[in-house]
Every structure is written in C-alpha cells, then in structure tokens.
Amino acid sequence: MSVAMAIEEKDLDSLEKRQKFTVGVIGCTRNGLLFAYFLAEAGFRTIVVDKNYSIINFLRSGNVPFLEPELKALLKKHTKNGYLTFTNDIREASSKSDVIFLFVQTLIDRKKKPNYSHIEKACKELGASMRKGCLIILASTIGLGLTERLIKEKLENASGMRAKIDFGLAYSPIRFSPESSFKNFATTPQSVSAVNEQSLKSACAILNIVIKAEIVRIENIKTAEAVDLFENAFHDVNIALANEFAQFCEKAGIDFIEIQNIAKGISNSHLPTPRITKELASKASLLLLDEALMMDVRFPLLTLARKVNDEMLRHALHLIIDGLRACDKTVRRAKVSILGVSSHSNMRALYSSSTRKLVNLLERKGMAVRVYDPLFSYKELIEKGYPAERTLKETVEQTDCLVITVGHDQFKRLNLKKIKILAKKSVAIVDIGHIIDPVKAVKEGFIYRGLGRGILTK
C-alpha cells in the first residue's frame, strides 16, 4: 500500500524522504521524458514506461529522441545510478509506483475525431496492478470532462478501487514549448486540479519539487481541462490568421517575416509565424469541436481556422509547383529534395510531423522525392517509409527543387553555392522553415519561394 494520495510537502522536503517514493511516467513524449529527468534529479526513483519497444531500447542505450546532448549525458547519469529505469511493462511499473504520471496522448483519426483507445488501454493495464493509496496524475491534453468520466471510470473498473477513497486522481497538463531549452522546463508555470482537496494537495506537493514556477490550483477539473483546450485553440486561431496574412503577403509582394520583426519592435506585437500546423493547438481545436458537436454548439471561427490551417500543406505544394515552373521545369518527374522530417527544429521527433503527408502529395503529382534529416539515420528513415538518401550531398545532387520543412541549425548553415554546383542546373528553393535569406538565395542563382515571403519572385 502507498501513502502517496495523502502526501504533504513536509514528506518530501529532503532527498532522503524523496528516495522512499517511486514515480512512474507512462508515455515517452518529450515532456514525459523531461519530467522523468527532473524527477530523477530530485531524488525520486523514476520508472519510464512506453509500449514501443524500439523507443525503450533506444533510451536504454543512452539516447534521447531529441537533440540535446547535455540532457543525454544527464539521463545517462541517472540511468547508471539507478534513479531512472525504462520498461515496456505498464503493470510492473504501476505495481511499484507511488505516483504515476500519464503522458499518453489522445490520437486523432483520419476523420479528425479523437481516439482515446491508447489512453483507455493504458488505464486498464494501470488499474489492474496499481497500488492502493497511490496518486494518478493525467499530464496530457484531453477532451472536456473526460478526466472524471473516462480516466476515473476506467481506473476504478480495472482496479476495483474508488477514487478519493482508495487512490488519488489529479489533472495537470504539463505545458512546455517544443522550441524551448530543457533547462527552462522547471521554470515554466503549470496548472493542477483534482477530484478532491486531498488529491490536489498531494499533486501540488509532488509538482512543487520539480516545478519552480507558479503552480495554479484550479478547483474544478472540467475548468482545468477547458483552460488547456481554450489556450491551445486560441493559438490555433492566431496561426490561421498568420497563415492568411502570409498568403496575402505572397500576392502583395511583401515579406511577412519582415513585418513580424518590425511589429515586434514598435508595438511589442507577437504575430505568430505562419506554418503548417502540427502542434498541440490543432488537437485542442479538434477536441473542442468534437465536444461542441455533441452539445449542439457551433464554433464557426474555430472551424474556419482549422480549415485554413489544414490547407497549408496544399499551399506548400503550390509553392513547390510554382517554383518548378519558374525554373521552366515540368512538374511530372521533377526531382524534389526535402530537408527535414522532424516535427520541430533540432528535435528527433516525428509526432505530428507533416513531412510524410507532403511526400505523398508530391509523389501523387509524379515527382521523384528524396528526403534527408541529419537527426535520423538512413536506416531509420527507410524503416519509417521515407524515400531517404544517406547524405545531404546525395539528396541535393541533380535536384530541381530544394524544400526546407524545418529549421534545424544544420540547415541554417547550408552552403548555397555548393548546393547550386551539385544541382548543376536551375533550381528552386521553397523555404517552409523560414531559414534561408531570400536575397542570398537569389544572388546565388536560385528561384526562391518562401511561406509568406512575397519578395524577389520571378
């Protein structure tokens, strides 16, 4: 039996006390792994769980699925000293854990409807072996009301125990920008809610050890879920407006990125960067739209924002076709080189990456596509179904169009002069990641197209 559901801050105020507790982290998302590291750093015995064998084996070998060498070394340290272990067995981990953080993601199916099967399955396995008196904290985005409806029900049915009486249950959607350094993780404000006051106190006691910023307590879980959904959906709508601005700039012959920088300097305005959306924002919008449908409520603005953002992938296709035609190249059988498959810059992460969909669109148009990403090996890319090349040189040789989808630091150092020599002919650059200087690209003899950059066109 565990006492975690009744834990207080005084029970964790020393390393010796924290070493008595084991914390399970289910789901190898970036936030889950970061949280696991900080738990181990604080002295908790931490078990990281994921059903994907390749991910767990990858972690056991001392690697992390994103490019932060310093964090890689720190994770190795805690793996060696025993504070951090990895397993595929949820039941084994839950039977040993006093506190369990659920980072399992809600999936979105092809019809853009939420699929909670992964979370349901995790809760069933978790409930089958979790300890009486433990504390469960849901740490990922979920639909409105589902913490108490879905999560609580599945855990109770699988365990035969009751929330508030036999185990604690809290909700704290850990927020952290993918673009931020892991060093800022502990200083990012978070929110927390729970099924009762005791679960809330216990969750705060644990979170306060890792999070040094403000932790906002929210009495009602449904309100906490709405805060997370509304915040991310609001971001989604803003990106949609930026994407519309970007397309306007392309037609008007002006540069959105220049406008963005000027606005930031003179009015402290933070215009979002136009992009093919792939963040939590789109998921939050779809979860809200699904809930609204069941309540017979309309979200016309949010619906339109989703439509605008979904169309950006096809807009990227149009930029590529336009660039090829400006080079007097036919679309069919054109050689297109794509740099970047990661969902975010400088991260070994494919979750919600749009590159696979872009490759499919191009191949359906008859183009010959080659893909390269320095963060993934040739073997990894081939296994994931990408038409990969082993090196950057092989990827860009004889290419008709170079497409940069993500702003890895390595891509910011591209030698355009060498690329032009390797291509040996008229070449278009389509910059979706906003990392190429249009003036330099044109000076080196490229046809340039960029998302929102209606300048220097031919």
- Environment class of 426 (CB within 10 Å of its CB; exposed 0-12, middle 13-18, buried 19+): middle
Q: What is the DSSP letter of 50?
A: -
Residues 185, 34 contacting (CB under 8 angstroms):
yes
- Environment class of 249 (CB within 10 Å of its CB; exposed 0-12, middle 13-18, buried 19+): buried
Q: Helices marked H in 81-145 — which ranges?
A: 90-96, 117-129
Residues 128, 175 contacting (CB under 8 angstroms):
no
Which of 53-81 are b and which e, b meaning 16 or more Cβ less than 10 Å from the residue's Cβ?
eebbebbeeeebbbbbeebeebbeebbee
In DSSP notation, 363-407 reads HHTT-EEEEE-TTS-HHHHHHTT--B-SSHHHHHTT-SEEEE-S-
Residues 312, 273 contacting (CB under 8 angstroms):
no
Nearest to 400 by CA among 434, 453, 362, 357: 362
For residue 64, name the pLDDT band (cuts at 50, 70, 90): low
For residue 280, name the pLDDT band (cuts at 50, 70, 90): low
What is the pLDDT, as a whole number, of residue 369? 97
**Residue 415 contacts by C-beta under 8 Å, 6 or more apart in sequence?**
none
**Residue 236 contacts by C-beta under 8 Å, 6 or more apart in sequence?**
277, 281, 282, 284, 285, 302, 305, 306, 309
- CA separation for the pair 169, 155 (Å, rounded): 10
Question: What average pLDDT does this structure show over 418-441?
Answer: 92
- Identify residue 380 by its one-letter amino acid code: E
pLDDT of 176 strictly over 80? yes
What is the pLDDT, as a whole number, of residue 105? 87
pLDDT of 152 strictly over 80? yes
In DSSP notation, 240-309 reads HHHHHHHHHHHHHT-BHHHHHHHHHHHH---PPPP----SHHHHHHHHHHHHHHHTT---HHHHHHHHHH
Q: Which range, of 102-111, 150-159, 362-371, averages the lowest pLDDT?
A: 102-111
pLDDT tens column, 66-78: 546 677 777 788 8
What is the pLDDT, as a whole number, of residue 164? 95
Q: Which residue segments constitute the domains of the chain, with CATH numbers given?
A: 4-218 (3.40.50.720), 228-309 (1.10.1040), 312-450 (3.40.50.720)
pLDDT tens column, 231-258: 999 999 999 999 999 999 999 999 999 9
Percent of the chain surpassing pLDDT 90 = 73
Confidence (pTM): 0.89
pLDDT tens column, 295-326: 999 999 999 999 999 999 999 999 999 999 99
Please give the structure tokens belonging to residue 239.
């990106």
* Residue 280 or residue 25, greater confidence: 25
Q: Which range, of 67-76, 295-304, 343-352, 365-374, averages the lowest pLDDT?
A: 67-76
What is the pLDDT, as a whole number, of residue 278? 59
* Residue 101 or residue 6, greater confidence: 101
Question: What average pLDDT does this structure show over 118-137?
Answer: 95
pLDDT of 119 strictly over 80? yes
pLDDT of 406 strictly over 80? yes
What is the pLDDT, as a whole number, of residue 3? 80
- The HSE-up count of residue 154 (CA atoms within 13 Å, CB side) is 18
pLDDT tens column, 19-30: 999 999 999 888
Mean pLDDT for the chain? 91
pLDDT of 167 strictly over 90? yes
Nearest to 247 by CA among 312, 313, 322: 312
Give the H/E segment covering residue 234.
Answer: helix 221-252
pLDDT of 215 strictly over 70? yes
Percent of the chain surpassing pLDDT 70 = 96
pLDDT of 293 strictly over 60? yes
pLDDT of 65 strictly over 60? no
What is the pLDDT, as a whole number, of residue 444? 92
